[in-house]
Amino acid sequence: MTAYLTRVIRFSAAHRYYRTEWSDERNYAVFGACANPHGHGHNYTLEVMVAGVPDPATGFSVSLAQLDAVLRQEVITSLDHQNLNFAIPEFGDGGLIPTTENLVIWIWNRIATLLPARLVRLRLYEEPGLFVDYMGEPSPPDPDRPRFV
Amino acid sequence: MTAYLTRVIRFSAAHRYYRTEWSDERNYAVFGACANPHGHGHNYTLEVMVAGVPDPATGFSVSLAQLDAVLRQEVITSLDHQNLNFAIPEFGDGGLIPTTENLVIWIWNRIATLLPARLVRLRLYEEPGLFVDYMGEPSPPDPDRPRFV
Amino acid sequence: MTAYLTRVIRFSAAHRYYRTEWSDERNYAVFGACANPHGHGHNYTLEVMVAGVPDPATGFSVSLAQLDAVLRQEVITSLDHQNLNFAIPEFGDGGLIPTTENLVIWIWNRIATLLPARLVRLRLYEEPGLFVDYMGEPSPPDPDRPRFV
Amino acid sequence: MTAYLTRVIRFSAAHRYYRTEWSDERNYAVFGACANPHGHGHNYTLEVMVAGVPDPATGFSVSLAQLDAVLRQEVITSLDHQNLNFAIPEFGDGGLIPTTENLVIWIWNRIATLLPARLVRLRLYEEPGLFVDYMGEPSPPDPDRPRFV
Amino acid sequence: MTAYLTRVIRFSAAHRYYRTEWSDERNYAVFGACANPHGHGHNYTLEVMVAGVPDPATGFSVSLAQLDAVLRQEVITSLDHQNLNFAIPEFGDGGLIPTTENLVIWIWNRIATLLPARLVRLRLYEEPGLFVDYMGEPSPPDPDRPRFV
Amino acid sequence: MTAYLTRVIRFSAAHRYYRTEWSDERNYAVFGACANPHGHGHNYTLEVMVAGVPDPATGFSVSLAQLDAVLRQEVITSLDHQNLNFAIPEFGDGGLIPTTENLVIWIWNRIATLLPARLVRLRLYEEPGLFVDYMGEPSPPDPDRPRFV
């Protein structure tokens, strides 16, 4: 009787797509306006889905208070009102580009083991017209792993 | 050539999280403001996903008229403009707490066998920032069960 | 150079439309399902519009921190996770019915003089398909009063 | 480390549900107001989900520029500001009915092999209260196929 | 103590922008893709704002039941699942073009005198990115007319 | 028979609230996290309302093609994927702070005289929970100026 609870949070951040080891020409060819100097920004929306069996006494599949505390401390405090290229070492010069794909994977790696329930999916919206889902490293085929329809 | 059609409906209801066999202190420690006397309420949004193969003549994978009739009679009539703790016996004193998890499971059990097509997922929003998915009891591993990506 | 800043907040509450001095029949004739015993509830959304001239040094037309503090203390603390018929004396037995109209006027009267800028409009959504605007008591015709188009 | 990127696009189109080989009575019995002469229309929203592994240098799991180009040329140009019954041969007289199910399958068949990354799901909204998912022909059980939760 | 209540309704319709007395070239130059043969369509959203003073006994500024009845009979029945160029005589060949402007004015003229409260504004969305407000014929300056901010 | 048409556009930008002539302490006291180094960013939504009388032949109160061209050239090209503090001279060091108030006024001043119809209101969302309206410099009381209700 597993239920999949999703909490939705928001944060605002700046970022720039640029590889310092490439020429400006190559950066613009690959990243377009995302290579503009000084960056731009977004209101991100993050959906955090965790799995759990509702407790017979409380009806809760997860402690929302604990879930919210982890998200506040690990996601909001780290990313909200920040410039990702400067605030997150992995996205610094010569590192990973802070695309939506790389950012959602970064968040997964940061929170997966800290959450009070099993993390099953992150969905990160960069804007209403673009979002990325991540479900962790592919594990070997496991018939018990919940499947969506 | 299975298609997954989702119908979205809304209902408004009140509820309270409280166990009469517990002290007020314990209720507030576990349920927070949800334990306030006389309850509070929400505009719920329910997504009902059913699977079907489009009929070659009509293009329909399910009869929307029949689907809507079941949802109106079994969900809207039962829950809309109601206080869940009083209107639904399972959520009465000493019973289950009407959390989003327990409510989505209650809806599943009420409608799954009445729908004109196979029910594959319910998603229930309590508010825009919190929703719960339920896909029924886990069946034994079944490679034919549709999987989502 | 007046700007009109709007802050949007949310709260969840229960309410019931019922006059104890009327018969059940009359209550149902006037209020329909809103007269159901034990009430129902909504996720309310409140838009608070205030007028101000941006400060040349800060660019702020109002202190958001002060605005948010008043809204939290006077609106959220009073109404969120509450049953309006019991938590707000004006909406108790024999008093006003907690309709969207009466509730938005109640909020206006509670916060108008406490806000750090002139309150010009409240918009209260009971659900996405129904909202009520209130702009205070009609004052005598005042050509300086800002007009919207 | 597969990520699932979704692009959201919109188009507006007219359609009518009607089989010329049936009587008016039968058409209205099966299709209701969708059988009205001259059709009606919708603002469609299409979510296109593709799978890919983020490139270490660019952080992209797919070329958005190429993805957008295919969607513009194959979906927008074909369907936006069109009447589906006349603009799409498969939906002409005696053909398929342009239901949401048939339309999402038509789009899948048109774009799946043209996209710069593996197409894993299409979600087509006809209106906010009705949408259909399609994931392609069911393949034989494949434990490597990504599964959603 | 006037409150401004707004009801939101939806309908889906097809339309085409085309003047039969003009050449195809001129029609396409003026109307673009909206001149495509057989039309296209939209999910329209209509906001109907009426003014009223809350009744001391009921808290209602208008009878929602009566308001909804007029909207259902005069707007939904006339426009939903219709092709505006054929279903509405004013929008027929040689008549008015069913633009958002003309349609919102048509609705105003149809319902203004039938509503149970004074109509003060109609807002009609053709799509999320385009809407038109109409407030009736400009009356002579009237200092008592409510003003918005 | 004036209609008020609103076009909605979006752009993404970064900004920082900081006065170089102030100490870090004072900047943080006034601007909070908005003073963080390297800035953060938002998905802005801009609503542009213009007034016009529908043309009897075309039904248009304004040329949407011309309106969109001005918005693309003057707003999107200037602001989208930019850092406001660096891309807009008025928001550079020692200049105005790029708050929502100052930004909506900047846009008004840039486009008001270029639009193909009279600009009556700009509404700028910095995020779903905060927006600012601007209607231009207050003109002397003018009973003919349209009023909103």
Give the mean model confidence (pLDDT) for residues E22-30.
98
Binned at pLDDT 50, 70 and 90, residue B144 comes out as very low
For the question of an ipTM over 0.95, the answer is no
Least CB–CB distance from F59: residue in E96, E133, E138: E96
Indicate yes or no: CB of D8 within 8 angstroms of CB of A130. Answer: yes
Write down which chains contact chain E via at least 3 CB pairs under 8 A. Answer: C, D, F
Indicate yes or no: CB of F5 within 8 angstroms of CB of E131. Answer: yes
Indicate yes or no: CB of F54 within 8 angstroms of CB of E102. Answer: yes
Query: What pLDDT is recorded for position D1?
Result: 85
Per the annotation, the verdict on C81 as an active-site residue is: yes
Annotated catalytic residue: which of F15, F21, F25, F34? F34
- Closest by CA to E127, choosing from B96, D89, D43, F112, is D43
- pLDDT one-digit tens code per residue, A69-102: 999 999 999 999 999 999 999 999 999 999 999 9
Query: What pLDDT is recorded for position C48?
Result: 97
pTM: 0.94
Show residues of chain E in contact with C129, CB under 8 Å.
7-9
- Is F130 near chain C, with CB under 8 Å? yes
Give the mean model confidence (pLDDT) for residues A32-57.
96
Least CB–CB distance from B81: residue in C10, C33, C86: C33
Chain E 7-36, CB below 8 Å of chain C: which residues? Answer: 7-9
Query: What pLDDT is recorded for position C139?
Result: 53
- Coil, strand or helix at A142: coil
- Is B59 near chain D, with CB under 8 Å? yes
Tell me the C-alpha to C-alpha distance, in Å, between residue C121 and each of C45, C109, C117, C146, F149: 14, 12, 12, 11, 11
Structural domains present in chain C: 3-134 (3.30.479.10)
Indicate yes or no: CB of B6 within 8 angstroms of CB of D132. Answer: yes
Both tokens of residue A120?
């099953």
- pLDDT one-digit tens code per residue, C63-114: 999 999 999 999 999 999 999 999 999 999 999 999 999 999 999 999 999 9
Query: What pLDDT is recorded for position A147?
Result: 44
Going by C-beta distance under 8 Å and a sequence separation of 6 or more, which residues neighbour residue E82? D36, D38, D40, E13, E14, E88
Give the mean model confidence (pLDDT) for residues E81-87.
98
Binned at pLDDT 50, 70 and 90, residue F142 comes out as very low
A and C in touch (3+ CB pairs within 8 angstroms): no
- Is A59 near chain B, with CB under 8 Å? yes
Neighbour-count burial for C62-84, b at 16+ CB within 10 Å, e otherwise = bbbeebeeebeeebeebbbbbbb
Binned at pLDDT 50, 70 and 90, residue B139 comes out as low
Annotated catalytic residue: which of C34, C42, C47, C74? C34
- Is E2 near chain C, with CB under 8 Å? yes
Query: What pLDDT is recorded for position D149?
Result: 38
Indicate yes or no: CB of E41 within 8 angstroms of CB of D87. Answer: no
Give the mean model confidence (pLDDT) for residues D74-92.
98
Across chain C, mean pLDDT equals 92
Closest chain D CA to residue E33: D81
Compute the distance between CA of residue E146 and CA of residue C142 in angstroms, rounded to an integer.
Answer: 11
Indicate yes or no: CB of C149 within 8 angstroms of CB of F4. Answer: yes
- pLDDT one-digit tens code per residue, B26-50: 999 999 999 999 999 999 999 999 9
Give the mean model confidence (pLDDT) for residues F87-115.
97
Per the annotation, the verdict on E90 as an active-site residue is: no
Least CB–CB distance from F13: residue in A13, A40, A86: A40
Query: What pLDDT is recorded for position F1?
Result: 85
Going by C-beta distance under 8 Å and a sequence separation of 6 or more, which residues neighbour residue B142? none
Task: Identify the burial level of A55 via C-beta atoms within 10 angstroms of its C-beta, where 0-12 means exposed, 13-18 middle and 19 or more buried.
Answer: middle
Binned at pLDDT 50, 70 and 90, residue E144 comes out as very low
- pLDDT one-digit tens code per residue, B106-128: 999 999 999 999 998 999 999 99
Compute the distance between CA of residue A15 and CA of residue A90 in angstroms, rounded to an integer.
Answer: 13
Binned at pLDDT 50, 70 and 90, residue C1 comes out as confident
